Amino acid sequence: MAKIQINGKKVAIKQNFSILEMLKKYKINRKKVAIELNGKILPQNQYNKKKLNNNDIIEIVQFIGGG
Amino acid sequence: MNRDIFKIDKKILKSRLIVGTGKYKSLNETAQAIKSSGADMVTVAVRRVNISDKRKPLLMDYVNPKKINYLPNTAGCFNSNDALRTLRLAREIGGWKMVKLEILGDKKTLYPDMIETLKTTKVLVKEGFKVLVYCTDDPLHAKKLEDIGASAIMPLAAPIGSGLGIHNKLNISLIIKQSKVPVIIDAGIGTASDATIAMEMGCDGVLINSAIALAKKPVQMAEAFKYAVISGRKSFLSGRMKKNNIASASSPEKDLIS
């Protein structure tokens, strides 16, 4: 297992999980979010390629109601 | 008669009323209010996805971004880095280039920090963003924003969420007079007539959130704002009569029966 942090929460995921697999696990629609991996925006076309490693810090954001 | 077109950068909007999507009781109410307001641009916030509550409804499921223009906003940001991070992420979600920049300087008044705002606008413009900028009602800062490439100037009428209406008409009118980009009143409008006043003064548009969302009947208030903005705009374009300090009868004074 790899220990990573998603949106401030510590979670453990399978080794070699891709970003896309992680999104699937959490039932998140990739078209409705943006992802930051270790402080850098990860372009959508890299979700499949990019594997998650121990200690990675991920931010997943979406649009919500606001002024 | 020339068609009265509302254009921000190259985007043509049908409505001069832009509405916020915060503070509603439900996403269903949000969607209904937007519909009855006639707005075709709405502000949205960027926040973390809740990974433990997978069934949480999404704004995008209620307000279709293909039909209504989303205007990502940096509400809640108190410095340049947070604002830039927010808007770069927003752009990544779906290619949104038109954004609203709002950098606050004080938690109590939610007054904009113009030094950070000017600095950040410059960076965003360089990165190809079309930036609508929330700002003080100071004509000097408004001019500086325009000079560095802001796509619209959005001065406050009164503090965010205060509902006090336009507090410095002189400054707002100076900003309207000098600006070549659209001037959109942002923040502080309390009720429909405030929006009419702003439009009658010559503002190009108004952005309303709290005044609709916090009304007892938000969906109906949204409709009130729709007509208030149309009314104010038509009134502005019609050119009001001159003010007189003495009366002038509306009916002819000739041929009275007595």
CA-nearest of B95, B54, B59, B60 to A34 is: B95
Name every residue whose Cβ is closer than 8 Å to that of residue B241 and which is 6 or more positions away in sequence.
none
pLDDT, residue B50, reads 85
B244, part of any domain: no
How many Å apart are CA B158 and CA B165, to the nearest integer?
Answer: 6
**B85: containing domain:** 6-238
Q: Is A55 helix (H, G, I), strand (E, B) or coil?
A: coil
pLDDT, residue B209, reads 94
- Residue among A32, A36, A41 minimizing CB distance to B58: A32
- Residue A25 above 90 pLDDT? no
> Contact at 8 Å (CB) between B29 and B59?
no
CATH number, domain containing residue B184: 3.20.20.70
Contacts 24+ apart (CB under 8 A), B171-178: B171/B137, B171/B138, B171/B139, B172/B137, B172/B198, B172/B201, B172/B203, B173/B201, B173/B202, B174/B139, B175/B137, B175/B139, B175/B142, B176/B201, B176/B202, B176/B203, B177/B202, B178/B139, B178/B142, B178/B143
Q: How confident is the model at residue A44 (pLDDT cuts 50, 70, 90)?
A: confident
Establish if A21 touches chain B: CB-CB under 8 angstroms: no
Q: 């990860």: which residue's tokens?
A: A42
B247, part of any domain: no
CA-nearest of B6, B16, B13, B42 to B213 is: B42
pLDDT, residue B54, reads 67
Nearest CA in chain A to B84: A41
How many Å apart are CA B195 and CA B206, to the nearest integer?
Answer: 7
* Chain B residue numbers touching A67 (CB-CB < 8 A): 20-23, 43, 45, 73, 75, 160-161, 187, 209-210
pLDDT, residue B188, reads 92
B131, part of any domain: yes
B253, part of any domain: no
Mean pLDDT by 10 residues, chain B (258 residues): 86 96 93 96 92 80 92 93 94 88 94 96 97 97 97 95 93 97 95 97 96 96 98 96 90 86
Q: What does pTM read for this prediction?
A: 0.91
List, in order of start, the domains of chain A with CATH numbers: 2-6+18-61 (3.10.20.30)
ipTM comes to 0.90
Q: Which amino acid is at A56?
A: D
Number of domains in chain B: 1
pLDDT, residue B123, reads 97
pLDDT, residue B2, reads 61
Q: Which amino acid is at B118?
A: L
How many Å apart are CA A63 and CA B61, to the nearest integer?
Answer: 11
B254, part of any domain: no
- Residue among B58, B88, B160 minimizing CB distance to A41: B88
